[in-house]
């Protein structure tokens, strides 16, 4: 924990040192704010005090507020206010702060906002809108280890628009093949891309194609319970009695589920093996 706080302070110190030299610009109206040395010192003091308090505490938020009174155009500070609230599932409180971050630095935070809408607040239509805007403005990029197309695919899965979900999962796959041409297919394309492409095909009734994608996911994460489960279900749908064995294997490996960093805060789409699912808990 001590190392964690040291890293946070190093990061914020570097961030503030850069802002001492750079002009902070508003993306909307072109307003510029130059920080004096005294302002930068006060912001650093407020941040140190902020991170001396628990991340979800009121005191943490109050010290960030104090820093923002000095530099209200600092997008990173707004994002830092939003992030703990999202992780506490206080989405409506968090949203205005993240909108401020997007306002002052859309290139950095528009895609992040789309991610938070997809994984945290489950605001799928607006997530699609933000990612499509990010694609138009900045090209096909990545946020939180995945392509924009990946998250758009998840959004469509959660809206039961499975053909559209498959369309964007395929775009995500091709994007990664292009970006990582020297890697094997199962490595170039993230194992969760293969998993969710399989889910899209499963929902469309394309069970053979779904199994192929689940197998690709399992080549990287061989005891991935959710992929084992849906592979078994796909086999059963095809009349293959061996599907039951794969489902059994899935339950035996129930601790090996989606391992994204934010899976400790939120249940991911089509995540079967999570702590709120009573049917997968050890008996």
Fold held by 164-283 = 1.25.40
Q: What would the mean pLDDT of 172-181 be, rounded to a whole number?
A: 97
DSSP three-state, residue 143? strand
Report the interhelical angle of 162-179 vs 148-158 (nearest 10°): 160
In sequence order, what are the residues at sequence separation of 6 or more whose Cβ sits closer than 8 angstroms to the Cβ of residue 146? Answer: 172, 190, 192, 193
Residue 25 pairs in a beta bridge with 32
pLDDT tens per residue, range 123-147: 999 999 999 999 999 999 999 999 9
- Give Cα separations from 129 to 118, 124, 157 (angstroms): 11, 9, 15
Residue in the structure block whose two tokens are 């899935």? 250
End-to-end CA distance of the chain: 34
pTM metric for this prediction: 0.86
Domain locations along the chain? 164-283
Using one digit for the tens of pLDDT, what is the confidence trace for 52-98?
Answer: 999 899 999 999 999 999 999 999 999 999 999 999 999 999 999 99
CB of 228 within 8 A of CB of 236?
no
Between CA 199 and CA 195 the distance in angstroms is: 6
Quick: pLDDT tens for 226-261: 999 999 999 999 999 999 999 999 999 999 999 999
């Amino acid at each position: 924990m001590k190392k964690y706080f040291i890293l946070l302070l190093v990061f914020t110190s570097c961030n503030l040192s850069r802002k001492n030299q750079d002009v902070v610009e508003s993306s909307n109206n072109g307003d510029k704010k130059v920080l004096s040395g005294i302002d930068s010192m006060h912001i650093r003091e407020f941040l140190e005090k902020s991170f001396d308090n628990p991340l979800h505490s009121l005191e943490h938020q109050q010290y960030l507020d104090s820093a923002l009174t000095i530099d209200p155009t600092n997008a990173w500070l707004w994002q830092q206010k939003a992030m703990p609230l999202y992780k506490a599932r206080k989405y409506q409180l968090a949203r205005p702060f993240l909108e401020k971050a997007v306002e002052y630095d859309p290139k950095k935070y528009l895609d992040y906002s789309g991610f938070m809408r997809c994984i945290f607040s489950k605001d799928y239509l607006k997530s699609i809108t933000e990612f499509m805007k990010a694609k138009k403005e900045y090209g096909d990029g990545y946020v939180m280890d995945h392509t924009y197309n990946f998250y758009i695919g998840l959004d469509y899965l959660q809206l039961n628009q499975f053909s559209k979900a498959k369309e964007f999962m395929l775009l995500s796959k091709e994007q990664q093949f292009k970006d990582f041409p020297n890697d094997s297919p199962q490595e170039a394309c993230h194992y969760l891309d293969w998993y969710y492409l399989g889910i899209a095909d499963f929902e469309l009734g394309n069970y053979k194609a779904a199994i192929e994608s689940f197998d690709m996911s399992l080549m990287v994460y061989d005891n991935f319970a959710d992929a084992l489960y849906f592979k078994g279900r796909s086999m059963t749908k095809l009349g293959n009695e061996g599907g039951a064995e794969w489902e059994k294997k899935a339950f035996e490996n129930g601790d090996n589920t989606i391992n994204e960093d934010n899976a400790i805060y939120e249940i991911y789409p089509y995540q079967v093996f999570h702590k709120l699912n009573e049917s997968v808990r050890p008996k």
